[in-house]
Amino acid sequence: MSSVVSRGAADRLRPHLDRALGGELPLRVRLWDGSELGPAGGPAVVVRGRRALRRLLWEPGELGLAQAYIAGEIDIEGDLAEGLRTVWGAARGQGVRPGRFSVADRVRAAGTAVRLGAVGPRPPAPGRPARLRGGLHSRARDKAAISHHYDLSNDFYSALLDETMAYSCGYWTSDDPGYGPADAQRDKLELICSGLGLGPGSHLLDIGCGWGSLTLYAAGEHGARVTAVTLAAEQADHVRAQVRARGLSDLVQVRCADYRDISGGDYDAVASVEMGEHVGAAEYPAFAAMLYERLRPRGRVLVQQMSRGTNAPGGGAFIETYIAADMHMRPVGETVGLLESAGLEVQSVRAMREHYVRTIDGWRQTLEDRWDEFTALVGEETARVWRLYTVGSALAFAERRMGVDQILAVRPADDGSTGMFPATA
């Protein structure tokens, strides 16, 4: 493939970029003066002004690039997913590796930045970055982290999600054109309820209940009693309103509380749907022990949780700054081990990674189709955060850098029986 190298700012930047990347630029870059560099064809990164370079001088790497995109200082001309895929592919296997900058390299780069007018004060962070204080996974910090993500506004999530208001991986069981995201979410909810053996008289503890999709389904469709727990005040308000509207007040109790404040040990079932990612590495053994302690003997627990590949990073600077602060993911085998160490017997693990690609792509398509509505609700910078988040997340699941799994486990009785299979003579 031929390369495009026009005179201008591109000529000044080319040697520094080659040195910084440790290889050839994997995609085309067009600078504010119209000059270009990199391979012809495919998506192009459009650098709209010197401010983008200044931001990258202050914040090199993933976060600086993400913030420049959020601020509209850089953009992708063409398909954003293809652009991100190209960069990831180059980083993994096409020879692009960060080079080593000597003192002389840094002096030359600084001189180029001065000549291009890119030197100046640090640009303010755009959008709504999380600004958390206190000890990692302290109660106050966890509450602030959850509020940052989930209290963006109920109107925003109502526009983004389908009518189930399920903000988690769906379970796609059909390719029929009339089968959509809401159907996949209902099939996921039924999969959870059947796995937990819910029915009239069952008591479910729904930890991290979100906007109540599982709580309302378990009570409305299976007649189960549900104690729903969330740290997000706007979620709790939404679930309470839905409980009243659907006439389920005699079956559902909603608590706005920390999972560490849940008491009791007689629940028939416990569910944690994509909440465990927020618990933290050091805290997860105690979280797993809490799941065990809340269950009656032979009670069942279902944990649906995102994971990362054994040699793949989870999260990243952009996600942790703008979406899920303090999130921690681990390979699914490690989570299984932690649950077993707490005394639970794992009965099954269902991988749902490819289902999440379709789920997130549905959210992304809704965002694009209703772009003007979202920018009116939360502003263009926050809408661009979510565009980058949905595109990047779908790509991470598609490329197996991230996964999601349903883990079904049981608390054995003292005699070792689980109630999961018919008794034998």
Q: Residue 24 belongs to a domain with what CATH number?
A: 3.30.1050
Give pLDDT tens digits for 125-140: 999 999 999 999 999 9
Ramachandran sector of residue 155 (left: φ over 0; alpha: ψ -120 to 50; beta: rest): alpha
Residues 27, 147, single domain; the answer is no
What's the mean pLDDT in 183-198? 98
Residues 107, 232, single domain; the answer is no
On the question of pLDDT at 206 being above 80, the answer is yes
Classify residue 291: in a domain, yes or no: yes
What's the mean pLDDT in 344-371? 98
pTM: 0.91
On the question of pLDDT at 185 being above 90, the answer is yes
Instruction: Residue count of the chain, please give it.
Output: 425
Tell me 400's DSSP state: T
Classify residue 326: in a domain, yes or no: yes
First to last CA, the chain: 71
Classify residue 133: in a domain, yes or no: no
Classify residue 422: in a domain, yes or no: no
Classify residue 110: in a domain, yes or no: yes
Residues 89, 187, single domain; the answer is no
- Contact of 28 with 39, CB cutoff 8 Å: yes
Residues 321, 225, single domain; the answer is yes
pLDDT given for residue 51 in this prediction: 94
- Contact of 113 with 58, CB cutoff 8 Å: no
The percent of residues in the chain predicted with pLDDT above 90, rounded, is 74
Residue with tokens 């040697």: 15
Classify residue 131: in a domain, yes or no: no
Give pLDDT tens digits for 18-51: 766 666 778 888 999 999 988 888 788 999 999 9
User: 135-168 burial string, b = 16+ CB within 10 Å, else e?
Assistant: eebeeebbbbbbbbbbebebebbeebbbebbbbb
Classify residue 43: in a domain, yes or no: yes
Residues 147, 268, single domain; the answer is yes
Give pLDDT tens digits for 220-260: 999 999 999 999 999 999 999 999 999 999 999 999 999 99
What's the mean pLDDT in 329-350? 97
Distance CA 27, CA 418 (A): 56
Total domains present in the chain? 2
Residues 99, 150, single domain; the answer is no
> In Å, how far are 139, 324, 326, 378 from 144, measured between CA atoms?
9, 11, 11, 19
Residues 101, 171, single domain; the answer is no
pLDDT given for residue 95 in this prediction: 44
- Domain that residue 24 falls in: 9-115
Classify residue 134: in a domain, yes or no: no
Residues 107, 156, single domain; the answer is no
